[in-house]
Structure 1
Amino acid sequence: METVRSTEKVRCGQLSSIKYRSSIERCLTTSHVMSSVSLDQKEQVATSYVTYADLECVDYKYLLCGLSDGGVAIYDTSVVKEGSIYGEVGSVKGGQRGTHKYQVECVQWYPADAGLFSTSSRDKRIKIWDPNRMKVVDQFDIDCHIHHHQMSPVATKHSLLAVAGDSGEVILCDLRSGTSTHRLRGHDGAVRTTQWSPRVQHLIASSGCDRTVRMWDVRGSHPFIMALDANHHAAESFRRNKKIKRIPQAHKSQVVSFCFTHDGLWLLTFGRDGELKLWNSTTGRKMDVSYGEMFTDTRRNLRMAVTPSMHPDLVFLPCKSKVLVLEILTGRLVNVMSGHFSTVFGALYNPSSMNLYTFGNDHNFITWTPKIFDVNELEEDENRTLDLLELPKRQRVTQDNWSSDED
């Protein structure tokens, strides 16, 4: 936003090119502070084992946590109380009325506002909550164990909630009607994760235990678009040539995490084979980016996080007890964040505060704070440059100084 304002000021003649360059440098520098992330032992959440978390995308303040006992809790990350604990907005402990029977597998805020949120569990239920009363206002009963669910962040023409479960189908539930409307069939085995495109509201991707990542268009009667192929065979040929029996696979093992970039142009996938891959979300083609050798020791879903509107864009990838920070388009390793004692289950990035939240199998919820960049050096350089520009200009050696009689 600062860059947009600066560009407009330059266009109107209100900002010099020197100051504009300085403002651009400030914006670009914010993307490099992640190379010096430090562990913040002060700000934590006072709760039991966090199994999944989500941050509302309106004010980026309210942190929603799913708990191991089937309960939920909401924290205000802008308020820190005594004992350096995030201020609790509301919570429901496991065992109370309305909570899940087993641990919460997934939570999500309603994308448009913080007026409701959803939770799911292996008890085959998706619950819709009113955060003001911390009460369940609706519920979907699914005929299989649930691993993940998600609502579209950009939908304006539908209110579908996609469910990934053991049935091998992506189940679409309509929040308006309260019923299951569609089932996307094609996976051979359990569906582990679903992700709506942040760019196209009717486009959804799903990953399964069958090592595949499939793209779907929920508008038509034949929703399947393509399956991502790590062997560089065109996904388009698989879609059109029905004689091909080989099913394209994205990884050599189960896909444990994947997500779209903020602009929806790229798709990142991570499998138990230890490979992180980048795909063109439109063509389905695998990009030639090497992220190096990685490992994971879990079969459960992992939540990776990507940065919005940064240069360069970064991905935070849970890798055993560490979190790797990598440049998305180059694969360069920016940082390795060590603080957990066991497997990290998820990472959550706050674009407002630039903090990173991680949670894992060691029952710890950790806040990571980026290094605060001191802009004094940039301002001093800018002032020195302006002083030089204000000095009297020397006349050129070859300049003609004579004047004619006519002048």
Structure 2
Amino acid sequence: MLGFLTARQAGLDDPLRLRRAESTRRVLGLKLNPDRDVDRVHGNGINTIDIEAIEGRYMLSGGADGVIVIYDLENCSGKPQYTCKAVCTVGRSSRYVHKFSVETVQWYPYDTGMFVSSSFDKTMKVWDTETLKPAEVFEFEGNVYSHHLSPIARKHSLVAVGTKNPKIQLCDLKSGSRIHVLQGHRAEVLSVRWSPRYEHILATASADSKVKVWDVRRASGSLFTLDQHNGDKSKAASEAVNTAHNGRVNGLCFTGDGLYLLTTGTDDRMRLWNSATGENTLVNYGKVCNESRKRLQFTVSRGCSPEFVFVPCGSSVAVYALHTGELVTMLRGHYNNVDCCEFHPDYQVRYAEGPGGDYVSERQMLGVRITENVSKGKGV
């Protein structure tokens, strides 16, 4: 590290190289933080979290009890030991609360005045953060597994929605209506994800074992369907042609630059794809335990060299090197299944949340936050 600082001071090195080196060091030095906690609000499992990208200060969480909570992650006390406070809650007493489990929450990408939630009560709600009332409610025929707003879109305001229906719904926030459907899957759509590189490119994952990549400007079908065998029919059974996994595909995650797409499936495999060509890079991550019947939220680091993937894996979190598939470490200590994880490059803390309001935080890392299910009543 001193060598990096000396080279930077002398003008011989790129400051981004120093940042990458320090980010990587902190990822590899991840350890439990005994000094940080989070308010215990949820009374049941927490399925999803999201951290807004404007300030990196506020975190959303959605629970199996239908409750949504907004947390302030900033330490305003100045003390080394502190608890991140819940600044507002859409609780069971609210007339607007989701009736069943909240599966996805997401901040509006450009400001914190709005966020979107979707639920097994067959609705997606667009919330006004100030009033905590839904400005718009979209209703669907089946459970909503996943939704996603593009983090970069300027020419559209579409929300992609995956439901029990095989058709992907595109909802327009400006008009408040469903304007289009994407047809091609044959089973429920478990995960949807917009590209962080091209605002019209969307990836979808389904229980039919397939992952499709779409250009939503095209009236015809998908651009391509990911094939784990890269078109080699001799390696594929007749029923497994053009499948991304040999099971339900329930996890999607683009790398920060949008050049690669990661997928996870109930065949206990994770695969890395070239997002432009759909080619399977054949990186071998080994067995990646995945027993979830719903969407699996996992994440990729940003600003590190090499990049890392953080994947809920049973009661642990597996950390892999993105391009080699090497299992770097297993983050252990949870009592029950980890549900989802999120990465934020501006903080050096990782949060874990449990169904009884149990939380764990970890330090020495640029902002990994991981949500888990912990057996109710057990401390961490």
TM interval, shorter chain, is 0.7 to 0.9
Match of 1:103 in 2: 101
Instruction: Say whether residues 1:138 and 2:131 are aligned partners.
Output: no
Q: Equivalent residue for 1:84?
A: 82
Q: Does 1:219 align with 2:217?
A: yes
Q: What CA distance in whole angstroms lies between the structure 1 residues aligned with 2:142 and 2:19?
A: 50
What's 1:255 paired with? 249
The one-character-per-residue Cα deviations of 1:11-43 (angstroms, maximum 9, x if unpaired) are xxxx5256x389845641321222221122432
| Partner Cα separation in structure 2 for residue 362 and residue 288 of structure 1 | 40
Does the CA-based 8 Å contact 2:38-2:85 persist in structure 1?
no
> Gapped runs of 5+ residues in structure 1?
1-5, 236-243, 373-407
Give the aligned partner of residue 38 of structure 1: 31
The letter for the 1-side match of 2:295 is: N
Residue 153 of structure 2 corresponds to: 155
Q: Percent identity?
A: 33
1:375 maps to what in 2?
A: none
- Bigger drift between 304-313 and 82-91 goes to 82-91
Is the partner of 1:156 in helix, strand or coil? coil
* Structure 2 letter corresponding to 1:51: N
Decide whether aligned partners of structure 1 residues 300 and 195 sit closer, same or farther in structure 2, where only a CA change above 3 A counts. Answer: same
Find the aligned partners of 1:36 and 1:47 in 2 and give their Cα distance.
30
| Structure 2 equivalent of residue 352 of structure 1 | 346
Distance 2:364 2:333 in 1: 14
Bigger Rg, structure 1 or 2: 1
TM-score normalized by structure 2? Answer: 0.86
Equivalence for 1:387:
none
Look up the equivalent residue of 2:253 and give its one-letter code: C
CA distance in 2, matches of 1:195, 1:79: 32
C-alpha distance in 2 between matches for 1:194 and 1:23: 32
> Given residue 35 of structure 1, which amino acid in structure 2 is its aligned partner?
L
Instruction: Give distance in 2, aligned partners of 1:114 and 1:370.
Output: 27
User: Which residue in the other structure is 2:327 paired with?
Assistant: 333
1:163-178 alignment runs, 5 A limit: 163-178=161-176
**Structure 1 residues 370-398: Cα deviation after superposition (integer angstroms, max 9, x where no partner):** 269xxxxxxxxxxxxxxxxxxxxxxxxxx
Aligned to 2:207: 209
Structure 2 unaligned regions, length at least 5: 367-380
More helix by share: 1
TM-score (norm. length: structure 1): 0.81
Q: Secondary structure at the match of 2:38?
A: coil
Task: After TM superposition, give the deviation of residue 245 of structure 1 in Å.
Answer: 9.2
Give SS of 2:253's match. Answer: strand
Partner SS, residue 34 of structure 1:
helix
* SS of equivalent to 2:105: strand
* 1:75 counterpart residue number: 71
- Indicate the residue corresponding to 1:118 in structure 2: 116
Deviation at 1:297, TM superposition (A): 2.5
1:90–1:306 CA distance, 2 compared to 1 (3 A): same
1:323 paired to 2:307: no
Matched residue, 2:53: 57
Higher RCO, Cα 8 Å, sep 6+: 2
**Cα 1:23–1:208 shift into 2, 3 Å:** closer
Shift of 1:234: 7.6
- Cα-to-partner distance string for 1:229-259 (whole Å, 9 max, x where unaligned): 0012189xxxxxxxx9974000011112121
Alpha-carbon separation, structure 1, partners of 2:239 and 2:284: 29
State the one-letter code of the partner of 1:218.
Answer: V
In structure 2, C-alpha distance between the alignment counterparts of 1:230 and 1:22, rounded to whole Å: 39
Partners of 1:141 and 1:178 in 2: how far apart? 11
Q: 1:356 offset after TM fit, Å?
A: 2.5
Q: Distance in 1 between matches of 2:258 and 2:10?
A: 35
Give the drift of 1:157. 0.4
**Contact residue 62 and residue 69 of structure 2 kept, 8 A:** yes
After superposition, the Cα gap between the structure-2 partners of 1:27 and 1:183, relative to the gap in structure 1 and judged at 3 Å, is closer
**Contact kept in structure 1, 2:349 and 2:362, CA below 8 Å:** yes
The answer for the alignment partner of 2:370 in structure 1 is: none
- The equivalences for 1:270-309 within 5 A come to 270-309=264-303
Q: Distance in 2 between matches of 1:301 and 1:106?
A: 9
CA–CA separation in structure 2 for the residues paired with 1:174 and 1:351: 30
- Quote the residue 2:307 is aligned against: 313
| Cα deviations by residue, 1:106-144 (Å, 9 ceiling, x for unpaired) | 100001111100111111111111111212111111122
Q: Contact between 1:345 and 1:359, CA under 8 Å: does it hold in 2?
A: no
* Paired residues of 1:34 and 1:335 also in contact (CA < 8 A): no
Q: Tell which deviates more after alignment, 110-119 or 289-298.
A: 289-298
**Quick check: 2:23–2:365 contact (8 Å CA) kept in 1?**
no
Q: 1:371 to 1:184 in 2, by over 3 A?
A: closer
Question: CA–CA distance in 2 between the matches of 1:357 and 1:40?
Answer: 9
Asked if the contact 1:341–1:362 (Cα under 8 Å) also holds between the matched residues in 2, the reply is no
1:379 aligns to what?
Answer: none
- Determine if contact 2:240/2:246 at 8 Å carries over to the other structure: no
Q: 1:314–1:74: structure 2 CA closer, same or farther, 3 Å change rule?
A: same
